Amino acid sequence: MAVAGAGAAYRFHPHGAGSMAFPRPPGSGCPYSSGAPLSSPAFGGATGPGVLQQQLDVLDYLSDDGGVPGTVGAPLPVEAAVVPDVGYCDHTSRAAAVAASGKIAFRTRSEEEILDDGYKWRKYGKKSVKNSPNPRNYYRCSTEGCSVKKRVERDKDDANYVVTMYEGVHNHASPGTVYYASQDPASGRFFVTGTHHLAP
DNA sequence: CGAGTTTGACCGGCGC
DNA sequence: GCGCCGGTCAAACTCG
């Protein structure tokens, strides 16, 4: 896919989508590779003003039905459920389907299982699942009227990674967290280079 | 005391 | 039809 090379940054804004025109037709090109929202040059690992460097340093796009890594996909982890413009850097129909369904999964290298994505989540269940030694945790957006859910579990192959699956689209504004990511041209994987918590 | 978490029970979907 | 499994519910519990 036509993604800019190392250091090219993706800027994800929870409210940046403007309208909720979702989804954009696949194949219309990656809005990020064309430059628009990610013209922020402060990336490539640099921590710009207001950017909080966090421990999330690796992202892996996963499918929504089993977490098969490797597909170069939406570089949008946390904001995926918020910004409909997710998944368009992935030109596979599968990823488009994932985006269209409001489901997205990704893998994050983090010590923390709960990533601060700007929303408030309420845990409603925990279950150990087959084929994984780690339990899966179930969360619901605690905002009244919002039915977005997410599942969080440790990667069965590498406990250093947390697999998060979002389902649904928030119907409300979030306190706001902007995620910055860039892609490693060698591996094709996306890296979170920083986050920016917006003022409420 | 209210909000959030824990945890066992329950339910529905799916494969055999 | 049956059993397994993932997802959800809800009562009890914890914490601030």
3-state secondary structure of A101: helix
Report in angstroms the alpha-carbon separations of A180 from A38, A67, A97: 9, 22, 24
Domain coordinates of chain A in residue numbers?
Answer: 103-193
Strand B, nucleotides covered by protein (CB < 7 Å): 4-9
Q: Which of residues 142-171 of A touch strand B (CB under 7 A)?
A: 142
Cα–Cα distance, A116 to A118 (Å, whole number):
6
Which nucleotide shows the minimum CA-to-C1' distance to residue A123? Answer: B5
Q: Provide the sign of the torsion angle of the four alpha carbons A23, A150, A189, A157, taken in this order.
A: negative
pTM of this prediction exceeds 0.75: no
- Residue showing tokens 């040059």: A41
Using alpha carbons only, what angle is made at residue A53 by residues A52 and A56, rounded to the nearest 5 degrees? 125
**CATH number of the domain at A103-193, out of 2.20.25.80, 2.60.40.10, 2.40.10.10, 2.60.40.1730?**
2.20.25.80
Cα–Cα distance, A74 to A139 (Å, whole number):
22
Cα–Cα distance, A13 to A100 (Å, whole number):
19
Q: Is A96 exposed, middle or buried (0-12, 13-18, 19+ CB in 10 A)?
A: buried
Percentage, residues of chain A above pLDDT 90: 4
Cα–Cα distance, A160 to A154 (Å, whole number):
7
Which nucleotide shows the minimum CA-to-C1' distance to residue A130? Answer: C5
Tokens matching residue A139: 């969360």
Q: Over its length of 200 residues, how does chain A's per-residue pLDDT go in tens digits?
A: 433 333 333 333 333 332 222 333 333 333 333 322 222 322 323 333 333 323 332 333 433 333 333 333 333 333 333 333 333 233 233 334 444 456 677 777 766 666 666 788 899 999 988 878 888 999 998 887 787 888 888 877 777 778 888 888 777 766 555 555 555 565 555 554 555 555 44
CA of A23 to C1' of C6 (A): 28
CA of A148 to C1' of B8 (A): 25
Residue with CA nearest B5 C1'? A123
